[in-house]
Amino acid sequence: MNSNATARIWHPEGWRDGQLPQTGPRADGLAPRHVSSAPQRVVPGIANLHSHAFQRAMAGMAEAQTDPADSFWTWRKTMYRFADRFTPESLHAVAAQLYAEMLEAGYTTVCEFHYLHHGPGGKPWAHPAAMSTALVEAAADVGIRMTLLPVLYMTGGFDGRPLEPRQQRFGHSVDAYLRLLDTLRAKQSGRLRIGCALHSLRAVPEAAMREVLAALPADSRIHIHIAEQLPEVEECLQLRGSRPVQWLLDNAEVDERWTLVHATHLDDAELAGVAKSGATVAICPTTEANLGDGLFRLRDYLDAGGRWGVGSDSNSSVSPVEELRWLEYGQRLVTRRRNIAVSVDSPSAGETLLRGVVASASDSTGHRLDPSHADVLVLDGEAPQFAGATDADTVDRWIFSGNRPLVRQAWVDGRCVVDGGRHVDADAIAARYRQAVAGLLARER
C-alpha cells in the first residue's frame, strides 16, 4: 500500500499516526478516488470466522412459520430444499455477491465452512472439487482473503444413522474427504488457505474423526459446529455419556488450531476448558438469534481469558458491526446492564470487541494477518456519524451508531477492493447474482 495522506491508525494498543493507503491500485486497475486530505481513521479488516455462502440466496425466505414449534430443526428442512438446487455456476455467482457484500461491510477474510460438495442425490460432479473450486474462484475474483474449510459429513446423528436423502450432497467417506483436501491444498496461495471442518460430533463418528485428525498437516486449522442446540447436547449426553464440548476436550488435542463454532450451551467446566485450551469460539449472533439457538456466555468467557471471533454463518445479515453490536446487546438484555464487554485496559465496549476479533484472527484462519494492517478499512470520515469523532469514541461510533456500513475503502493484500463504499465490480457481480437466483427460484416452481 502506497500513501501520501495523514491517517490515524488503530492498533490494539491504541491509535497512532500513520499514512492512509490511497495511491495503490484498485482491484480493477483504476486509481482510488480522491479523498479528503484531512486526517482519516483506519481500522483492521475483520475476519469472518464462519460462513455458508449458498445460504445468502435464501435470506428472508425462511421467515414464514411452517410449524407451531418452528426451530432450527424445521428451518433446516427449508435450507436442505434450497441447497438441492445449486450447481457450481450458481454457487459461484451467489458466493461472489456475498463476498462483495462482506468487503463493503468490513470483512476482509472469510472462513467458508463448505459442505455442499456433490450434485443432487449425492452424485459427484465430473470434477469432485467443482463446488469447492467455485468458492475459491469467487473469492479470488472478488478479492477477499479466504480460508476454505471443506466439511466432513458422514452420519445423521450421534446414533450413526445414515444421511437423509437431502443430506446426500454433503456426504463423504474418510478416504474421499482426504483426497478432496489434497486436491484443494494444491490451490493454496497467499490469499487462500485450506483447512478442515468436521461438521459436528453428530455427523462425524469418533473413529472417522481420529483418522482425519491424524492425517492433517500439523498447521491445519480445524473448525467444528458444537453445542449449538440443546437437543444435540442432550443426545450427546445420552449416547456418548458427556456433553459435546467436554467430550471433544477429552478426546481430541484441542488447541489454538481449533475453532468451535457456536459453543452456545456450555457449563462452567466446559467454558473454563475451552478458554484454557487456546481454541477460538466463533460466535454468530445474528444467525444464533435468527435460528433461536440461545446466547453465548460472553462475560464469563472473557473473565476466563477465552478467545473468540464472529461469523455471519447463514448470511441472513452480512455485517461485522451488527454481529459485534448484537453480541454486546444480547448480554445487556440478559443482565439488564450496559457496557458488558469491557476490559481492564479500556472502558470502551467497542474497542474491547475489536481487540477480541483481531486477537483471534490469525490462529482461526491460518493466515498470517500482518500486524502492520495490510488488510485494512478506511472509515468514512465524512459520514455524519463521525462528526467530531475523537480517538476515544471512534470505534464505539463505528459499531454502535446504526446499520449503515461506515467503510469508505477496504484494502486486502495491498489492493483496494472497495472504494467509495462499493465493491469496485459491484454492478457486474450483482447482475450475475440476480440471474443465478432467478434460476434457483425457477427450479422450485
Number of H helices, E strands in the chain: 14, 16
| Exposed/middle/buried for residue 243 (C-beta within 10 Å: 0-12, 13-18, 19+) | buried
Give 35-38's long-range contacts (Cβ < 8 A, gap of 24+).
35/5, 35/378, 35/408, 35/409, 36/381, 36/382, 37/5, 37/6, 38/381
Residues in the chain: 445
What does the block give as the cell for 166?
A: 437431502
- CA separation (Å) from 335 to 40, 330, 358? 36, 9, 26
- Beta-sheet pairing, 40-44 with 3-11: parallel
**Greatest CA span in the chain, whole angstroms?**
64
Identified catalytic residue from 172, 199, 313, 419 = 313
Report the alpha-carbon distance of residue 342 to residue 408 in Å, rounded. 27
- Bridge partners (DSSP) of residue 261 are 225, 282
Q: Are 66 and 415 in contact (CB under 8 A)?
A: no
What does the block give as the cell for 272?
A: 473454563
Is 327 strand, coil or helix?
helix
- In angstroms, the first-to-last Cα distance of the chain is 49
Whether residue 313 lies in the annotated active site: yes
Whole-angstrom Cα Rg for the chain: 21
What does the block give as the cell for 286?
A: 445474528
What does the block give as the cell for 255?
A: 488447541
What does the block give as the cell for 117?
A: 460438495
Identified catalytic residue from 262, 265, 367, 373 = 262
- CA separation (Å) from 386 to 138, 208, 227, 348, 389? 33, 52, 39, 16, 5
User: What is the side-by-side order of every strand in the sheet holding 422-423?
Assistant: 14-21, 3-11, 40-44, 376-379, 407-412, 415-419, 422-423
- Beta-sheet pairing, 107-114 with 258-262: unpaired
Query: Which residues are tagged catalytic?
Result: 262, 313
